[in-house]
Structure 1
Amino acid sequence: MIYGQVENLFCFLSGGGALPEKFDLKNYLLEMVKLHPSDFKEDWLAGASAGIDVKKKYLSGASDRFLQQFVQDVDGRNAHLLNEIQRLGAELEAAKAAGNHEREGQLLALLGQAISKIPDMSQQAPAAPVMHHQIPSRISSVPFRDIANRYLEIKRASVSIETYNHFVAACSLFGRFTDTTRELHTFTRKDSSAFINVLRQMPKYWGKSPKEETMTLGEIVAYHRTRNPGYVTLSTDTMSRHINKMAEIWSYAISIGELDDKKEYDIWSKHMVTAINEQTVDRRPFKETELAALMETLWKPRININTVRQIISVATYTGMRLEEICRLRPCDIHEVEGVLCFDIRIHRDADGKEIWNPKSEAGERLIPVHSYIKNSTGLIERAKNCEKSKRDRIFFDLPYAASTNKYGAAFSQRFSKFKKDAGLPRETTFHSFRHLFRTMLGHRSDGLN
């Protein structure tokens, strides 16, 4: 970074710039150090790692003194690396608070580089049996709050917005009923079981009212039971998702050496997860009478009716998921061996970075374009016009929901109201078009073929 600053000065001067008469290069560079302390990584780290690698070769049969020194070298190297990560985290918080987005991006990149240097503990040589005195394992003193915040910062840059929000929700709920300043190693299976018991009692739609922000668990449950005696609790899937997110945080703490990899700290696995009053709805395909009811119902504005017709037509004749349809680009409709197809694949930006991925491995596929879509919907002409006008997406009029990273969110909400206006039951959703397509192909075994 120092070399970069000096280079910038030379470029400035060679371009005709002029420095102040009393410009002090030394003080200038010292100021840069104060502004960007985390950019100055000592060569000590690389040297320490090299020394550790050399000593590994001589562990077998080595004296206690040599083994003790080796362990101290490893601990010192790891402590230095963790200190670097903590310092980066603190700088990142300061950059965010100051609204310095450019520096925030730089720090996230540096944080990723530092984390990538965390040694793979599976490759470390095991303690030799000749040691007479075992070095006591270090017990973490890091509070849950700190380790969770650090992990959330890492996930922010590596997962979708929806997945990141799942992490935030799990941590927020855990923090709502737990002392987050407790040191991580003090939590036991009794604590995780208590949290799971909280999850089992939580109403499915909790947190919608400001009144609940100061309520205890008992008060929240009583509040919802008063409004709905048969209130629905969180589903088993939602509970399992929260538990899995918490388990990831514990695994992260172990991976960076903040928590010992011991059985007693495995507090999130092998729990029996059952909901108290889970609301399950068996989604099914539309019936002919229900399709007729949809056709006779007035579609209210906000989303263009032609867009609605084309999206529903694609869903009906391809079985594609809503988000797959809403993200269709002009280049996703092309011929394959003489057959016009929808090409469902990973979307990447100009730099090759993945920005959207189909739901599963089976999500990437080619789907022939039905003759009805070709001849009666105007979709192909729309795609060609979008290509000429350099539109990124065919359904460019759909708004983007940043909170979920989806283009189909607004359409889904609007279709839900449309379906209710048509008098259709809860078992039907937009996904019922996918079930309908599957039924028409004879791929169902529940008597609905």
Structure 2
Amino acid sequence: MLSDALIRFVLDSPHASADTKKATRRAVHLFLQAFGDAPVSIIGGEKAGAFRDLLFSLPASLGKRKSSLTLEEEAQRAREEGLPTLSGKSVKNHMMRLSALWNQLHQRELVTRNPWTGWNFENGQKTIRRSWTARELTLLTSASWHSTSVPEQTFKLVTLIAAYSGMRLGEICTLRKEDLQTADGIPCFLIRPHTETGGHPRRKQALV
């Protein structure tokens, strides 16, 4: 049974991390909610595909609030209310957790194949972004500042760097004076970890 496989190969495994156990438990429990428990040997591509389709129809807020609805009812509510649904990344993560479990089952010849691989996770939903208008930018930089936690000058500086470079907020907020450097004659921000603050930005951004 799938529930038994979860316990034996993941939850009771001394080699699985806490994050792996939590994420795999979540993926398996979603499957059990949708289709019930079953021998792993009879769970194939049809059920894997149906689970993938169901995940794409579930509201993005699933699990963030208490609910007595079934997953099918949650999907219906998302359709009726036009709610944002799970992203391709979230669906992929759930499927990958099940795939990793099935890899172990396949190695032990408890299943003949892994039905959780080879799926497409593009749901056709694209986030449409537009540029800020000149009026909006003027309003953003000229509006009165009421925050007591962030100085107005800091806010304006962060805004200008973001508008000029396209850097992420986390990358901007981890910058230090020594991160303003010149590489091969090009002024740039050096995006790097600062261990004293726990910041872990990801890339280098040129100023031009």
Shared fold, TM over 0.5: yes
Q: CA distance change for structure 1 residues 356 and 349 in 2, over 3 Å: closer, same or farther? A: same
**What residue identity is the alignment partner of 1:144?**
L
Q: Does 1:291 align with 2:143?
A: no
**SS in structure 2 at match of 1:265:** coil
Percent of residue pairs identical:
22
Measured after TM superposition, the shift of residue 202 of structure 1 is 0.9
Alpha-carbon separation, structure 1, partners of 2:199 and 2:12: 23
Partner of 2:26: 172
Partner of 2:52: 196
**SS in structure 2 at match of 1:203:** coil
Alpha-carbon separation, structure 1, partners of 2:194 and 2:137: 36
Count of equivalent residues: 203
Q: CA distance change for structure 1 residues 174 and 307 in 2, over 3 Å: closer, same or farther? A: farther
Q: CA distance change for structure 1 residues 317 and 171 in 2, over 3 Å: closer, same or farther? A: same
Partner of 1:246: 98
Greater C-alpha Rg:
1
Alpha-carbon separation, structure 2, partners of 1:317 and 1:299: 21
Alpha-carbon separation, structure 2, partners of 1:234 and 1:152: 31
Structure 2 residue ranges without an equivalent (≥5)? none
Alpha-carbon separation, structure 1, partners of 2:122 and 2:8: 30
Alpha-carbon separation, structure 2, partners of 1:181 and 1:145: 13
CA-to-aligned-CA distance 1:18-64 (integer Å, 9 cap, x gap):
xxxxxxxxxxxxxxxxxxxxxxxxxxxxxxxxxxxxxxxxxxxxxxx
Alpha-carbon separation, structure 2, partners of 1:282 and 1:303: 30
Alpha-carbon separation, structure 2, partners of 1:168 and 1:241: 12
Partner of 1:260: 109
Partner of 2:206: 367
Q: CA distance change for structure 1 residues 197 and 331 in 2, over 3 Å: closer, same or farther? A: same
- Compute the TM-score of the two structures, normalised by the length of structure 2: 0.70
Measured after TM superposition, the shift of residue 175 of structure 1 is 0.7
Asked if 1 retains the 8 angstrom alpha-carbon contact of 2:78 and 2:85, the reply is: no
Match of 2:86 among 205, 224, 234: 234
Measured after TM superposition, the shift of residue 206 of structure 1 is 2.6
- Compute the TM-score of the two structures, normalised by the length of structure 1: 0.37
Asked if 1 retains the 8 angstrom alpha-carbon contact of 2:171 and 2:201, the reply is: no
Partner of 2:61: 205
Alpha-carbon separation, structure 1, partners of 2:174 and 2:44: 45
Measured after TM superposition, the shift of residue 355 of structure 1 is 7.5
Partner of 1:147: 9
Q: CA distance change for structure 1 residues 349 and 209 in 2, over 3 Å: closer, same or farther? A: closer
Q: CA distance change for structure 1 residues 296 and 215 in 2, over 3 Å: closer, same or farther? A: same
Asked if 1 retains the 8 angstrom alpha-carbon contact of 2:191 and 2:205, the reply is: yes
Alpha-carbon separation, structure 2, partners of 1:366 and 1:272: 32
Measured after TM superposition, the shift of residue 243 of structure 1 is 1.9
Partner of 1:219: 73
Q: Does 1:356 align with 2:195?
A: no
